[in-house]
Structure 1
């Protein structure tokens, strides 16, 4: 077992290159030797894979010795039994390429809002730790009677200085606690279904679920995997527990003889367009292509919604900063105004 994990980029590149070499008629061993001849961080590992093939092991067994995704290993194993290994590798390469692209775009999407939030927190800390204490010292030295509004504001600042660190620690620890609860408890498995009752989040959650299922199932079907086996592979490799219940419900309804479109229509987490497109695919015999088509359309819709949502974070943050500055200016300069009126 070799411990260094393959990245999504390296897995995608391996699948594409190996699939193209096999489609060109090059035997598996020679194809791996060709990849071994390319310089890179995985050169030695290609050599070990060649050694495994020479010892009589198949490709899925060889991949299992590596830290490849379990879904890739399952698909390769099925392709070795049914045929179409090159096509399966090509589809896997496309899938992991799309997955990597999604992660990169998601990071780019949240990077700007995170920067704005960091700026907002820094501005608040600067106001409360530098600006406000200087005014407080000034008024104390001048022995000015402070109005009730300013006194209340200064008491709040004093409270935040004493207990703000605990609040900040709670904010930092909250995601950690939620993650541990997600891993160790079952009640959070139903949280997304509770969120379906919140209008804005409901739409986002349904897009994400419909997009994920459509693309995953579409790639599997286009790779030649039967429907029930594709559902089984998804159930075994699904990354989110709260989707597992939905996949299991769809699988049970398929085993009872229902159509996939009818099974999906009964699940509230899926958009109506998904079941309609699946129904069209069932009628035309092109279910995989229809799923990929609707999945790509939902991917564009997801990006559009996320883009417009994150664009609002900047203006909202500036408004919050403006309100905080206004409150600080009014409460801190109010004693000076009172002093000038009494002169």
Structure 2
């Protein structure tokens, strides 16, 4: 679907402006007419392309929670979606509209939700399939919404923690760029004609500035091209995201690995609590995993679970699975409370991932400040040594 800005005239003579999603402008026009609005202007929004609408964790959590609440009150699913169309943001409203139309056409909720893209949307689809399997749709959606909310809060917390170090690093690059483009070029004429009398360290600083001025535009163009490719191509985003995730999952105590397996165990706990058998619950819980190598490793365990192999033994065969999660699952199998054990393991892994990132950033931020301050001070000292050498040459 595409995004359109529209201006329409209401029955009361007032102008209505807004953003809406539709396959074509004609579809939006007909929809406005059905709402008793006279379209005056419909134009495509900038920087968009045809494709699936994506849900964030917060939007998916709100959609699942609201649907569960309305269904619990006795409202039919199509009626609940119709109500949400008028309450949600334009993107979520468009998704709710398409889902409702598919439901009316006879599709189940899990199939109808395929109009939305992204990992949170895939989790909603898995929740819907779990609800259809267990017959407890509202309970599954409510539990899944809580899981999505916890994931969203953790992501926002980690993003907030990364803002200050990112700002410091940008300031560091800005300081180096200012020295390379403004300070050093203005001092180079003072060293002309000195030949080999310039101190070696000062010459090194001048050479460093020349290299930075040569490479920075090239790096800037490469970064801009990469940003454009990531913005316009979902294939590039998928490949880049998988590569970055695989790099971040290296190491025995990778926060990224803890974060991914925390989400997996949380989803699996939701399915088991809803009464979905272990093997189907595993398939539904692993579907939203987008890291290609890990997704293949998880999918390879489907048949073993169908054969009755215990979950703890299956997790041992998954490369990179945190030993703590295996321990929680093993204790849950022995106590008969595997869903609670999965929830506890998920909370433990998520907490450890956040703690590891906080610890890393608490060391990285002052380290970057010290390195940048040292570089600026060293460059300044070397430049002044060259200026003193110029002064001595003039005095002689």
TM-score, length basis structure 2: 0.72
Q: Which residue is 1:108 aligned to?
A: 160
Matched, 1:319 2:374: no
Deviations 1:163-215 (A, max 9, x none): 443345456667979x849739x9x699559933xx6xx44344234323322
Q: Which residue is 1:276 aligned to?
A: 327
Matched, 1:21 2:70: yes
Aligned residue runs from structure 1 range 57-68, under 5 A = 57-65=107-115
- Residues of 1 paired with 2:302 and 2:103: CA distance? 35
- Residues of 2 paired with 1:141 and 1:330: CA distance? 21
- Residues of 1 paired with 2:266 and 2:88: CA distance? 33
- Residues of 2 paired with 1:207 and 1:154: CA distance? 46
Alpha-carbon offset, residue 275 of structure 1: 1.0
Alpha-carbon offset, residue 241 of structure 1: 1.0
Aligned residue runs from structure 1 range 187-266, under 5 A = 191=246, 195-196=250-251, 202-266=253-317
- Tell me if the contact between 1:182 and 1:189 (Cα under 8 Å) persists in the aligned partners: no
- Tell me if the contact between 1:15 and 1:93 (Cα under 8 Å) persists in the aligned partners: yes
Q: How has the CA–CA distance of structure 1 residues 193 and 228 changed in structure 2, closer, same or farther, with 3 Å as cutoff? A: farther
Q: How has the CA–CA distance of structure 1 residues 274 and 12 changed in structure 2, closer, same or farther, with 3 Å as cutoff? A: same
* Local SS of the residue matching 1:237: coil
Higher relative contact order, chain-length normalized (CA < 8 Å, sep 6+): 1
- Residues of 2 paired with 1:255 and 1:51: CA distance? 35
Alpha-carbon offset, residue 228 of structure 1: 0.8
| Bigger Cα displacement from structure 2, 323-332 vs 262-271 | 262-271
- Tell me if the contact between 1:113 and 1:310 (Cα under 8 Å) persists in the aligned partners: yes
Alpha-carbon offset, residue 85 of structure 1: 1.1
- Residues of 1 paired with 2:248 and 2:372: CA distance? 35
Matched, 1:10 2:59: yes
Alpha-carbon offset, residue 151 of structure 1: 2.1
Which among 123, 134, 139 is matched to residue 87 of structure 1? 139
Q: Which residue is 2:179 aligned to?
A: 127
Q: How has the CA–CA distance of structure 1 residues 107 and 226 changed in structure 2, closer, same or farther, with 3 Å as cutoff? A: same
- Residues of 1 paired with 2:237 and 2:94: CA distance? 40
TM-score, length basis structure 1: 0.81
Q: How has the CA–CA distance of structure 1 residues 294 and 341 changed in structure 2, closer, same or farther, with 3 Å as cutoff? A: same
Alpha-carbon offset, residue 102 of structure 1: 3.0
Q: Which residue is 1:98 aligned to?
A: 150
Provide the aligned C-alpha RMSD in A.
3.6
Q: How has the CA–CA distance of structure 1 residues 314 and 301 changed in structure 2, closer, same or farther, with 3 Å as cutoff? A: same
- Residues of 2 paired with 1:31 and 1:211: CA distance? 31
- Tell me if the contact between 1:217 and 1:291 (Cα under 8 Å) persists in the aligned partners: yes
Deviations 1:285-341 (A, max 9, x none): 221111011101211111111112112232112112222122212221113444666
- Residues of 2 paired with 1:65 and 1:174: CA distance? 28
Matched, 1:154 2:210: no
- Residues of 2 paired with 1:235 and 1:61: CA distance? 17
Kindly indicate which of the two structures has a greater share of residues assigned to helix.
1
- Residues of 2 paired with 1:21 and 1:46: CA distance? 14
Alignment coverage as a number of residue pairs: 336
- Residues of 2 paired with 1:180 and 1:53: CA distance? 33
Gaps of 5+ in 1: none
